[in-house]
């Protein structure tokens, strides 16, 4: 999972109100060169959406985002999630993912949280909310202390600042919701999503993707 994300440089963060939109959205992302989707558990349709993608598009790396509890992690993994992303650092969520041999990427925004994650054996962390937590300057400062920790900034990342993040050696990839606008999904404009994914991949290609 980590090697694919490192190669792609972008992890689309997807909010779905209807499970039937899951496969078309993931297929559009793949058509644009991003066969990965973090389905956030913010809607009742999320778990079924993960299940549909896992079954219909096995070549897509599907994960669950906004995972707040170990129970949610377990349900997402049962649905087919191959990675678990949380807004914060919660040990039971990390352990639930480890038991299932699924990658956990908890969110951090301070040196204290990163140190706690480091002592849990975690070396890939979500930096969230990235822009409000200091953005690229903060990540550069953290690199001097946590030399073996890498980050997936999410929250406020956009095409305008994507390069600022991807140019940092301690950034593996960026998470972003701009790739899957809700209005495009609800209108069935999946070509728009494919175009946005292709544009993001082209931008990421400048940084070795």
Cis-peptide into 153, omega within 30 deg? no
The sheet that has 124-127: what strands, in order across it? Answer: 107-108, 124-127, 150-153
- Which amino acids are annotated catalytic? 38, 126
How many Å apart are CA 149 and CA 139, to the nearest integer? 10
Residues 6 or more apart in contact with residue 78 via CB below 8 angstroms: none
Does this model's pTM top 0.85? My answer is yes
pLDDT, residue 11, reads: 98
The DSSP-derived string for 147-195 is: TT-EEEEBSS--TTTHHHHHTSTTB--EEESTTS-HHHHHTT-HHHHHH
How many Å apart are CA 8 and CA 175, to the nearest integer? 11
The DSSP-derived string for 48-75 is: HHHHHHHHH-TTSEEEEES--SHHHHHH
Answer whether 13's CB lies under 8 Å from 209's CB.
no
Give the pair of three-digit tokens for residue 22: 């899951």
Answer whether 107's CB lies under 8 Å from 130's CB.
no
How many Å apart are CA 176 and CA 27, to the nearest integer? 17
pLDDT, residue 207, reads: 84
pLDDT, residue 206, reads: 86
Q: Which domains does the chain possess?
A: 2-207 (3.20.20.70)
pLDDT, residue 9, reads: 96
pLDDT, residue 209, reads: 56
Q: What is the pLDDT along the chain (209 residues), one digit of tens a residue?
A: 889 999 999 999 999 999 999 999 999 999 999 999 999 999 999 999 999 999 999 999 999 999 999 999 999 999 999 999 999 999 999 999 999 999 999 999 999 999 999 999 999 999 999 999 999 999 999 999 999 999 999 999 999 999 999 999 999 999 999 999 999 999 999 999 999 999 999 999 888 65
């Amino acid at each position: 999972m980590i090697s694919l994300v490192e190669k792609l440089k972008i992890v689309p963060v997807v909010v779905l109100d209807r499970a039937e939109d899951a496969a078309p959205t993931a297929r559009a992302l793949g058509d644009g060169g991003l066969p990965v989707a973090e389905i956030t558990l913010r809607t009742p349709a999320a778990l079924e959406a993960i299940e549909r993608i896992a079954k219909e598009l096995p070549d897509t790396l599907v994960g669950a985002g906004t995972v707040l509890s170990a129970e949610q992690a377990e349900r997402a993994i049962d649905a087919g999630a191959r990675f678990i992303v949380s807004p914060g650092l919660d040990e039971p969520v990390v352990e639930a993912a480890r038991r299932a041999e699924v990658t956990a990427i908890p969110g951090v925004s301070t040196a204290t949280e990163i140190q706690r994650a480091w002592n849990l054996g975690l070396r890939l962390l979500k930096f969230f909310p990235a822009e409000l937590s200091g953005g690229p300057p903060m990540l550069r400062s953290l690199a001097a202390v946590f030399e073996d920790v890498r980050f997936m900034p999410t929250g406020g990342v956009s095409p305008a600042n994507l390069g600022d993040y991807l140019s940092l050696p301690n950034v593996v990839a960026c998470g972003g919701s701009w790739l899957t606008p809700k209005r495009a999904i609800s209108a069935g404009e999946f070509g728009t999503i494919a175009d946005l994914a292709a544009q993001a991949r082209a931008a990421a290609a400048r940084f070795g993707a």
